[in-house]
Structure 1
């Protein structure tokens, strides 16, 4: 499954009552693009239970809505939304049906839309982010859909979201041995004989596998990459890795990711070693907000923090 951005054309409401009023013919707010921090737009007040912990910004219950059209060729496909972060308690509805519930505000989660999706029609997605139970942090938490959303669509035989893992087994200046593990999942009505093809650094491999309805198989391939450009702190070289599931000449699914080839070892005598060389850990304790920009994870702001 190849993810695509699902960040545009959301409508934001400051309460569920505002969303209901809009549904009854009231005014629609202008569309926004995620990520979005709802807390930073609240009026500051000394009366909020958060106090100085969140800069005197109150919490609240917020609603995000978007329309998703499901084309006819999605019939029999799996359709999933990945939410990278919603603060805090999140409920995801599709056409009025609850399809996901997430309590924790700092990790990603998935909402499977497949069974509640109306094919050939517009579908309403509603996300309620409830950060009204304050105080709940000793730092500025932000509110709402402060990270991005991605849409995953896959056929009856597919690679699930995050279904490919790449591991560097060993590496030196001559060769890197890389294991590519791909999970193939089937919701088809009959067994399928397919071929899993992997490619990395100009080296390819292919393994046949039979997947049965309602099951999944993990296919492992080991590729030897000649003269590898190893990832390290000063030269963070990345390779493109692709995995394709085929039925004869027909492609059923495809996944692509970027990976660095490197070995990590840790022991009490030689410490942490990267590609056989000792390295010192360097870091800082940084909270997730971007100062006056709020908690929204704008790519440019995140890169600025990395540079700092």
Structure 2
């Protein structure tokens, strides 16, 4: 009799535009239209689209309640069931949820239809026209969807219950230490039967071994057509505390049982932790003072826009965590799949209300307030969340509106570990180093609060374009520009760029008055108000690391991540004379063709693990022929890691790699994996510059397909820095997939670049 959760991702019919036209079969997550890799300048589709599907509603389930949930439907969305308008939703970043029981025809085929409009709409947050926006939202049912079939006696959905600080399941903690912790669970149960019900609510906390470590039961009574909150407390002895380094997750199993029969059961992943923001000791996290290094992130990718499947989101989260970042911030609530990954990988999270340089009294303000309530009720149980950002990003808002948002957060989350942050407003944490001049013409009216004795967080740093118009900036360096540009980007981080003497990484790590800081951005992204992407970040649009990635990675201690050792020099004819190495070792040795050049300590830079710079090496050692440099990382007198670079030769062959990161490709019709094609020489070295003029064509056989074609520049494609990437999408049938890569223009000479192929498998979910 318990709840049934049915995946709704597959087999939707999709129609673009408002006129009758041919439909196509699609699977969620889905974007309305594929776009070029560089899709900045507001070239994405704006307007109407429709999704619909037919499904049988079994007669044997007619006694259940039916709830439909879409994690993300971009723009203004209208939900129809069997031709009747059921709900209109006005936010693309919070779920569209509705009880549709009254509209169901049991034992018959039912039609679910969603009409979407992602056109500019100043009354729908973020409100600002997309052509003047610093990010993109491409449209569609771009997140996952599901149906819940629940008993008349059931745990409510937090967004449907509309209960302040309630609805669904709400987990909080108190008296948390390494010796013990108290876990409070508030459960909202609704009785829609025709009679009063006597039942029990059981809570069990299960560890990673599957052992129940704490449990409690309450026998309660609920009259018919009533809903009520029930609170229970569980004590956990010697808890494993959640932290970025030890992201330990328990399962909280909540069961509603009546006369021995389970009527409802929900499993919630929880992490027991305690934290407190201070103005002079950083964050006291599980009793330890710390400052958190983070990154800003946009939920977007090449070709598919915002429609990232769970595997791609997880890879993004894992790449950012492996770079050393321990906090993520965006301009809107992120999808549950990404939040789940943050919980599992140890990434703390700032959850922001949808907004960017826009405010309007009236219906817009009302919807913005509703968004804040929804995002808290939706995501409040995730241990990774440490800050709520209710104020609209970089926006001029009335004082009454700001006070209302602050009140909403603390009303919805009335516990001690609730913190809000903003540039300017009555929040618990003050953002620092906000550049008000970017908001011209109103920038001169913007007043920073400069509160005393208030915790401080730097939400964005490193990214200081010249005048916020031409957007020229050493940090915004495409990987294809080569070594010099990427080295300059690291120089900006470590304070060696004269354009940016403040608001860089050196300033962050040496400021004891801040609790944390987020680089802008962690990954390159497209935006509406410029024709070029934001080229900043540690990973490019295709998620290929730039030199900055390895620099940030090297700022982690060996005890936490092992030895990091990276040579930031291609050792080519046009490479820098200096050889720069990023490492967390104590000293580094450099060899040229096995001849010791020298052993040095780190540079004099005020970071935990400064770079190692070997001066004028190319002029002294690089001759006309190809040669090899090798570095050894030392801790004490022990060599703990080695790395080599050989001068790149002429391109000889293609080399394919699938970027799984131990996350399998699911045969669900929407899952994706990026396949990289490296152009390499006879020694397997990537040829970073000269190979970039030759387009590569990809083909696929078996249970997969290439995403995009020549109409959007996706296939064939030219490499960048010697590496090209294509998305391969699974079909709904598990099986083998063969991807082939060859030069687009056939080469007949004996020196022709040789093709390559790779075979991998998709799996049933």
1:193 match: secondary structure: strand
Once the two structures are TM-superposed, the CA of residue 94 in structure 1 deviates from its matched residue by 0.2
Once the two structures are TM-superposed, the CA of residue 2 in structure 1 deviates from its matched residue by 5.5
Q: Is 1:38 aligned to 2:26, yes or no?
A: no
Aligned-partner Cα distance in 1 for 2:198–2:310: 42
Residues 67-117 of structure 1 deviation map (CA, whole Å, 9 limit, x = unaligned): 232112322321111111111110010001111111211111202211111
Q: Is 1:232 aligned to 2:232, yes or no?
A: no
Aligned-partner Cα distance in 2 for 1:73–1:164: 28
Structure 1 stretches of 5 or more lacking a match? 22-26, 45-50
| Alignment correspondent of 1:47 | none
| Alignment correspondent of 1:112 | 99
Residues 182-215 of structure 1 deviation map (CA, whole Å, 9 limit, x = unaligned): 1111111111111101100312111011112222
- Quick one: structure 1 residues 260 and 3, their matched pair in 2 at CA, closer, same or farther if it must change by over 3 Å? farther
Structure 2 counterparts to residues 127-146 of structure 1, below 5 A: 127-133=114-120, 136-137=129-130, 138=133, 139-146=135-142
8 Å Cα contact 2:70/2:146 also seen in 1: yes
Q: 2:84 pairs with 91, 97, 114, which one?
A: 97
Moved more, 212-221 or 191-200: 212-221
Q: Is 1:187 aligned to 2:218, yes or no?
A: no
1:39 match: secondary structure: coil
Q: 1:176 pairs with 174, 181, 194, which one?
A: 181
| Alignment correspondent of 2:296 | 285
8 Å Cα contact 1:2/1:256 also seen in 2: no
Q: Is 1:166 aligned to 2:145, yes or no?
A: no
Once the two structures are TM-superposed, the CA of residue 217 in structure 1 deviates from its matched residue by 1.3
- Quick one: structure 1 residues 230 and 65, their matched pair in 2 at CA, closer, same or farther if it must change by over 3 Å? same
Residues 240-279 of structure 1 deviation map (CA, whole Å, 9 limit, x = unaligned): 1101111111111111111111112223343322111122
Bigger helix fraction: 2
Aligned-partner Cα distance in 2 for 1:218–1:298: 35
Aligned-partner Cα distance in 2 for 1:84–1:150: 9
Q: Is 1:122 aligned to 2:118, yes or no?
A: no
Residues 127-172 of structure 1 deviation map (CA, whole Å, 9 limit, x = unaligned): 0111234783212211111111121111111011241122121222
| Alignment correspondent of 1:68 | 55
| Alignment correspondent of 1:197 | 202
Q: 2:273 pairs with 245, 252, 262, which one?
A: 262
Once the two structures are TM-superposed, the CA of residue 41 in structure 1 deviates from its matched residue by 5.3
1:304 match: secondary structure: helix
8 Å Cα contact 2:32/2:45 also seen in 1: no
8 Å Cα contact 2:75/2:118 also seen in 1: yes
Moved more, 87-96 or 222-231: 222-231
8 Å Cα contact 1:65/1:124 also seen in 2: yes
Structure 2 stretches of 5 or more lacking a match? 122-127, 159-167, 207-211, 321-765
1:53 match: secondary structure: coil
Aligned-partner Cα distance in 2 for 1:301–1:59: 25
Higher-Rg structure is 2
TM-score (ref. length: structure 2): 0.37
Once the two structures are TM-superposed, the CA of residue 175 in structure 1 deviates from its matched residue by 1.5
8 Å Cα contact 2:33/2:44 also seen in 1: yes
8 Å Cα contact 1:53/1:140 also seen in 2: no
Query: How many residues are paired up?
Result: 292
Aligned-partner Cα distance in 1 for 2:4–2:61: 14
Moved more, 178-187 or 88-97: 178-187
Higher relative contact order (CA 8 A, sep 6+): 1
Structure 2 counterparts to residues 49-88 of structure 1, below 5 A: 52-54=40-42, 56-88=43-75
| Alignment correspondent of 1:276 | 287
8 Å Cα contact 1:62/1:129 also seen in 2: yes
